[in-house]
Chain A
């Protein structure tokens, strides 16, 4: 048990930091809840591993899987409680009106069409970039070296800008 506690002390920090970076604190996610769920899943595997014979990569996969399941569970849970509804009604609504929504919808469609028209490698790179991945992460996902991922993303962005500006004219 002591060794599990030591392991968990090492793991909790990176998990909490990553969740805080990617999922902002106002999302429907309590980092403490997520950590507790991951800890329970990890403990179930650790308890059965009497000789610590399981490899670190296996444990990494267990933790990754537990994080994803917890993130999904928290996403499906509605944010806020019922007694907050009244307070929410009093807040100003800064959402765009119907015309603004329609314009945004059309622009999003134009952006998706422009991405679809790019060469497949460019389209994938720029879509990942728009999803928030940095170049190193894109390199990891595409299984290529960072220089190539950088060039691919740079050229894809340049091409996308060119095509979008052509649409504007």
Chain B
């Protein structure tokens, strides 16, 4: 870390007096505990840069935080030994194979979806007959300036005198 001129820190701190409205102790406590909304945190941090008193208060909390958290955790653990040593329910072992079976089934389905052979488009067309018009055929016919098959939707299959896009049987 690059070192600053040693005079600057006391100089800065001496001239960052407490503004009129410092945040409440609750807010600063929340900041030090890491339990505060991001926009509130930004405003509080901006205040800390300008208020030496609050900056010192929060430094005390941050300095003590690890020790306090360890103390509360140890106390909490000491009060709850019964919960830790509670015997497992007798029917629990019977349920254990179920999640395993469900996971295996889900994995098998996923593998089947990924690896099963997909039908070839040419084969599909043969199976469906010549009535099937695939999007590729439409685009190829447009590219060749051929008479396109433009959504002729009459049921008898007779060609329309004026092919039109999106023509249907309802006068549309």
Contacts and interface: CB of A to CB of B under 8 A. Distances in A.
Interface of A: 3, 6-7, 10-11, 13-15, 17-19, 21-23, 52, 56-57, 59-61, 63-65, 67-69, 71-72, 75, 104-105, 107-109, 111-112, 123-124, 127-133, 135, 137, 140-143, 150, 153-154, 157-158, 160-161, 164
Interface string B59-80: 1111111111111111110111
B55 A57 contact: no
B168 interface: no
Contacts of A124: 45-46, 49
Interface in B1-39: 1-5, 8-9, 11-16, 25-26, 28-35, 38
Given A65-B26, A68-B25, 12 more contacts: A14-B71, A60-B72, A63-B68, A64-B29, A67-B64, A128-B48, A130-B8, A132-B55, A141-B58, A153-B1, A160-B4, A164-B5
A86 to B, nearest CB: 27
B55 A133 contact: yes
B2 A61 contact: no
A71 B8 CA distance: 25
A68 B31 CA distance: 12
Given A132-B55, A133-B55, A164-B5, A56 B69 contact: yes
A112 B15 CA distance: 9
Interface string B128-172: 000000000000000000000000000000000000000000000
Interface of B: 1-5, 8-9, 11-16, 25-26, 28-35, 38, 41, 45-46, 48-50, 52-53, 55-76, 78-80
A120 to B, nearest CB: 9
A132 B59 contact: yes
Given A108-B12, A154-B2, A140 B55 contact: no
A131 B5 contact: no
A137 B31 CA distance: 12
A57 B73 CA distance: 9
Given A10-B75, A143-B41, A153-B1, A61 B29 contact: yes
5 contacts: A23-B56, A64-B30, A104-B11, A130-B12, A141-B41
Contact of A64 (B1, B61, B70): B61
A128 B31 CA distance: 14
A59 B155 CA distance: 78
A157 B64 contact: no
B9 A22 contact: no
B76 A67 contact: no
